Amino acid sequence: MIALKLSNYPRVIEYLHIPTTKVMATVIIQSIMKNGKCISTSEKVEALFELIKGLIKDSDGIPNDEVILVP
């Protein structure tokens, strides 16, 4: 949940290459899901949606149906 507290994290992650951004977002989201804690503030929910947005947005040269699995 610490990643959701980092206000500049979504801006920083935008500078990574798209595949790296997707892997980072996936790892963070999976970690949140495994943790099983409730997201308690609207700011944290917005940060989570920013991560999810990075997984679903189109980008030139990256197929929409590309799936990234992280063990």
pLDDT in tens, 14-65: 787 878 888 888 888 888 888 887 888 888 888 888 888 877 766 555 555 5
CA distance 20 to 30: 15
**Residue 66 falls within a domain, yes or no?**
no
Residue 31 belongs to a domain: yes
**Overall pTM surpassing 0.95 (yes/no):** no
Q: Is residue 51 part of a domain?
A: yes
Instruction: State the residue range of the domain holding 10.
Output: 2-56
Residue with tokens 């790892």: 27
Closest residue by Cα to residue 43 from 5, 1, 14: 5
Is residue 19 domain-resident?
yes
Indicate whether 49 belongs to any domain: yes
Q: Which of 56, 54, 3 is nearest to 31 (CA)?
A: 3
